[in-house]
Structure 1
Amino acid sequence: NGPVYFASNTDVLLPDDAKVALEGVAAPLAATIGGVELASTAKLEGPRLTIEQTMRTREEELPADRIAPARRELARFGKQLPVLRSAGEVRELWQYFGKDRARLSALEGLYAKGIAEAEADDSSPLTNRASFRAGIFDHAGALGDVEAAMKIEDSRDLFLARAALRRELGDLAGALADTEEAEALQPDGSTYSDQIYMLGLLGRGADGMVLAEDFEAITKDRSVATQVMATALGWNGQAEEGLGLLDELIAQRPTDGSLLNALCWEAGIWGKMDMARLEACTKAVEKSDNAAAALDSRALAHFRLGHLAATKAD
């Protein structure tokens, strides 16, 4: 595929009265890890935080025996990156939906102005405000914007956006209907996992099994198919059978972080956790591309086993 180069430059303007400081390595950082050149600089000048980062590939492929050392080096590199710390009060996103909503009135005004000035066939100002509102947990307001956008254009993305918002608001039947419509517009099985989850919550585990069996027939990815089937089996009251399928495939692919995390999560949510499966959770953390998700799964595993301190740490 040839070399890849990424560069990002970010400027964040902080409040004038923000009591913040950069902790960690102040000097620019650079390293070559796993055949990839990494560089990062961060500086805080008054209320302005500037971050510049680059990534350039030097090798097209990394031998298998170098993957684990590269992961460790990358973890060490990440720990050196400076962190912005606040000495004062930190306002959480959900507070802006509550007592601090008035602080966002200027932004709300700009979004409203953009919507008022938009062309009749332009739905993007509405979807932009929907994203903003969803980000501060105003799901009802975001839903109104998405539905207004759908009067301008019907698209798969908008059906999926409305499904997500309806799900947040507890309208599982509506969310499922929108997800089914999105799948009908692009019938590739990519929504089946979400559908199976919602069908399970609605007490329709058998319908979820039908989707999982259909997915097995259309996908070439055995790992994903097994994870989807394990999920469906769990919602159909057959959690141990689903875990057995994952165990069988992990025996053939012991370094597949995604499978290990699926086993950890499914065992956790259905209360089937034991020390052997906890070990799989730890392997998932070590081998997954998304370590945060694996840590979340292991936290649930520790909770199931009564390891509250480890739960909090993860």
Structure 2
Amino acid sequence: MTGAAARQLADLERAIELDPSSAGALEQLAIYRLDHGQKDAALAMVEERIQAGGKEASGYMITKAELLGRSGAKDAALATSDAAITADPANAALLNMRCWLKGTLEVQIDSALADCTRSIELNGDRAAALDSRAMVYFRQGRLNEAMADLNSVLANSPDLAASLYLRGVILGQQGKTAEARDALASARLISPLIDQDYGRWGIKPTVR
């Protein structure tokens, strides 16, 4: 999170050495490789886990979709999430990922709302789904509705950097400069590279 790439890689490799089955470590290593110009290697390590099947296969499908979206392969990312949801239509995490992809990549926005709302109804990770739905509302210019979802998230998870950041962006657009700066500062304290992350999707605050 601080951008210490060499130390990050060393820790991830050590984590997988200690527990080769760790889905979290593999996901983070795949994202690391993608962000450092090794897209094919990143996708290959995830695809291997998907092909192995088992109860964690859907989780790796989420990771694959995230990697494809992060690389800008919009159609492939959505196709992967579509295939995963077809196989497991009541999976709240999969529905949330598809909503998030549509929101961040700014595609199929109208259907994104249905994905997020269904994920919330299934009682998955409500904070993640509400944050994703706020992103979709933001893309639609429905700032009050986006803010309502973000406030719901932050009422229970006040340290969620993503929600703090988007809240700061919206407050800035609404002319609430002081509140915007406070929210953005909190988000950056928790996640120092968050401007870079959201800049990838063309989302930049109007205040610093």
SS of the equivalent of 1:284 reads helix
Which residue in 2 is equivalent to 1:245?
80
Q: Percent identical across equivalent pairs?
A: 30
Q: Distance in 2 between matches of 1:205 and 1:177?
A: 19
Alpha-carbon distance, 1:189 to partner = 4.3
Q: Which one-letter code corresponds to 2:14 in the other structure?
A: E
Which residue in 1 is equivalent to 2:99?
264
Which residue in 2 is equivalent to 1:282?
117
Residues 252, 216 of structure 1: alpha-carbon distance in 2 compared, 3 angstrom cutoff: closer
Aligned length: 147
* RMSD of Structure 2 on Structure 1 (CA): 2.0
Residues 182, 271 of structure 1: alpha-carbon distance in 2 compared, 3 angstrom cutoff: same
Task: Give yes or no for the alignment of 1:254 onto 2:94.
Answer: no
Q: Which of 115, 134, 144 is 1:309 aligned to?
A: 144
Alpha-carbon distance, 1:273 to partner = 4.4
Q: Distance in 2 between matches of 1:300 and 1:220?
A: 32
Task: Give yes or no for the alignment of 1:196 onto 2:16.
Answer: no
Is the Cα contact below 8 Å between 2:116 and 2:129 reproduced in 1? yes
Q: Distance in 2 between matches of 1:198 and 1:288?
A: 30
Matches within 5 A, 1:54-203: 168-190=1-23, 191-203=25-37
Q: Which one-letter code corresponds to 2:2 in the other structure?
A: L
- 1 or 2 for the larger relative contact order (CA 8 Å, sep ≥6)? 2
TM-score by length of 1: 0.43
Q: Distance in 2 between matches of 1:177 and 1:273?
A: 38
Which residues of structure 2 form unaligned runs of 5+? 150-208
Once the two structures are superposed, residues 14-40 of structure 1 have per-residue CA deviations (whole angstroms, 9 ceiling, x without a partner) of xxxxxxxxxxxxxxxxxxxxxxxxxxx
Residues 251, 216 of structure 1: alpha-carbon distance in 2 compared, 3 angstrom cutoff: closer
Q: Distance in 1 between matches of 2:127 and 2:13?
A: 29
Is the Cα contact below 8 Å between 2:33 and 2:41 reproduced in 1? yes
TM-score by length of 2: 0.63
Alpha-carbon distance, 1:263 to partner = 0.7
Q: Distance in 1 between matches of 2:131 and 2:95?
A: 13
Q: Which one-letter code corresponds to 1:237 in the other structure?
A: G
Which residue in 2 is equivalent to 1:296?
131
Which residues of structure 1 form unaligned runs of 5+? 1-167
Q: Identify the structure with the greater helix proportion.
A: 2
Q: Which one-letter code corresponds to 2:76 in the other structure?
A: E
Higher Cα Rg, which structure: 1
Residues 237, 291 of structure 1: alpha-carbon distance in 2 compared, 3 angstrom cutoff: same
Residues 210, 249 of structure 1: alpha-carbon distance in 2 compared, 3 angstrom cutoff: closer
Q: Identify the structure with the greater strand proportion.
A: 1
Which residue in 1 is equivalent to 2:201?
none
Is the Cα contact below 8 Å between 1:219 and 1:225 reproduced in 2? no
Which residue in 1 is equivalent to 2:46?
212
Once the two structures are superposed, residues 93-118 of structure 1 have per-residue CA deviations (whole angstroms, 9 ceiling, x without a partner) of xxxxxxxxxxxxxxxxxxxxxxxxxx
Q: Distance in 2 between matches of 1:303 and 1:266?
A: 14
Once the two structures are superposed, residues 221-253 of structure 1 have per-residue CA deviations (whole angstroms, 9 ceiling, x without a partner) of 332121122122223432321211212332343
Larger CA deviation: 296-305 vs 230-239: 230-239
Is the Cα contact below 8 Å between 2:92 and 2:124 reproduced in 1? yes
Which residue in 2 is equivalent to 1:113?
none
Which residue in 1 is equivalent to 2:204?
none
